[in-house]
Amino acid sequence: MENTEERNININESDILKVFAVSGAVLQSVLGMFLKYAHTNDDLALLGVIFNIVKYTAPVFIFAIVYGMVKNNQHTKVSHFYKEKFGELVIPYLLWASAGLIFFPEIQANQHVTSFWTLIESFVLGNASSQYWYTVMMLQFQLLMPVLIFICYKYLAKPKRVIPLLIVSFVIFGAWLWMYDTFVFQGAYAISLRYLDRFFVSYFIYALLGGIAWVYKEQFDGVIRRIQFILIPVMLLILIWTNREFFSFGFEDMSFGNLIYLKPSMTLYSLLVIFLIYMLARHLINLNSRSLPYYKWLSTYAYRAFTANVFILVIVLRLFGNLIGQLPFFVALLLVYLSTLACSFGVVYAFAQLKVWGERLFLKQKGAHSINH
C-alpha cells in the first residue's frame, strides 16, 4: 500500500530510474566530446572506465518507460496515449534535433543531411547527433504500447506463464546478441545493418522485465530483496569484464563505438544496474525520503533535458573555450558535465514555464473575446 506522501507527490520507481538514466546519458555525451581533449593514455583510460560505468542508460530508460507505461495505461485509449506522447516526446525531439542540424551540423552522426530525404532519414534514425538514437529506440516502445499492455495484463494474467516467457525471451535475446556480434559488430554486415542497435528487438528484454516488475511487483520486489547482497560484488566483477573487452582494442584512435550494448557482458551489467537503482528507489520511497520531490521534478523534465543536452553541451564547450585545456583533465570534465546537466534542465524548465504562460495568456484573451461578443 502506498503511503500518503508517496501519493501526494505521485512518484514511483520509474521516476527515479529515469533520473539516473538521463544523468548517465548526459555524461556519455560529455565523455564523447572530451575524447579530443585527452592527450595521454591516462586521460583516455579515465574516459573509458567512466563510460563503461554509465553504459547502462538505454536499458534503464526502457525498463523505466515500460514500467511506468504498464502502471499508468491499462485502461487508456490508444489514440489518447499516442496523442499525449506525440506532444510530450516527438515534438521536443523534432525541435531540438532541428536546432542541432541548423546551428551545429558538425555534431551529426553517421550520414549527414544533404537533401530532403536525408533530412527525413536523420529524424527517423536519430542521426542529428550521436545521442538521438536513444530517442528513436525509446519511441518504438511507446508505439508498441497496445502490445505491451496486452502481454502484461492479458497473457501474463496467469502467473504460470511468467517463467516460461522469460526463459524463451532470454534464449531469443541471447541468439540476437550472438547474431549481432558475429555478423554486424565488426562483421560482414557492419555497414548495412548498423542501425540494428536502435531497433526495439535489441532491447525488448528490458521492456518485458519492466512490465513484469509492475504487474508482479510484490514478487519482483521479493526477488530483489533476496539477491540484493550479491548485486554490487557481481556488478563490479562484470564491470572488470566490460573494461577488459573495451581496452583490448587499444588506446590508438579509441572509439566508444567499440563499447556496445549488444553483448553478454553489457547485458548482464545493465540488468544488475537496473536492479540496484530499482532497489534504491524502493528504499527511498519506503522511507519517505526528503529527496523524493527533487527526483520527481527531475523525472518530469528528464526526457526534455536529454533531447536538449547535446545542443547545450556544444554551447557550454564554446563558452569554456581554452579554459578546458588549462584545468586538470578530471576537473574540466566534471565542470563541463555539471554545467551541461544543470543548463539542460534549466533551459527545458524555462521553456516549459514559457509554454504555460503562453497558454494562460491565450486562454485569457480568448475568454475576454468571448465576453465582448
pLDDT in tens, 31-61: 999 999 998 999 999 999 999 999 999 999 9
Cell numbers for 106, please give them.
558538425
Rounded Cα distance between 16 and 308, Å, is 20
pLDDT value at position 341?
98
pLDDT value at position 361?
82
pLDDT value at position 365?
75
* Regions in the chain scoring below 50 on pLDDT: 1-7
Is this model's pTM higher than 0.75 or not? yes
Q: Are 141 and 35 in contact (CB under 8 A)?
A: no
CA–CA distance from 38 to each of 44, 50, 309 (Å)? 6, 14, 21
Q: Are 74 and 149 in contact (CB under 8 A)?
A: yes
pLDDT value at position 7?
46
What count of residues does the chain have?
A: 373
Listed residue (204, 202, 273) closest to 52, CA to CA: 273
Q: Is 269 exposed, middle or buried (0-12, 13-18, 19+ CB in 10 A)?
A: buried
Q: Are 96 and 311 in contact (CB under 8 A)?
A: yes
pLDDT value at position 372?
63
pLDDT value at position 130?
83
Residue 5 main-chain phi, psi, to 5 deg: -65, -40
pLDDT value at position 2?
44
Residue 171 CB neighbour total at 10 angstroms: 10
pLDDT value at position 112?
84
Q: Say whether 10 sits in a helix, a strand or coil.
A: coil
pLDDT value at position 3?
46
How many DSSP H helices and E strands does the chain contain?
17, 0
Over the stretch 10-30, which tens digit does the pLDDT of each residue have?
899 999 999 999 999 999 999
pLDDT value at position 74?
92
Listed residue (360, 295, 227) closest to 21, CA to CA: 295
Rounded Cα distance between 55 and 295, Å, is 21
Q: How far is CA 205 from the centre of its chain?
A: 15
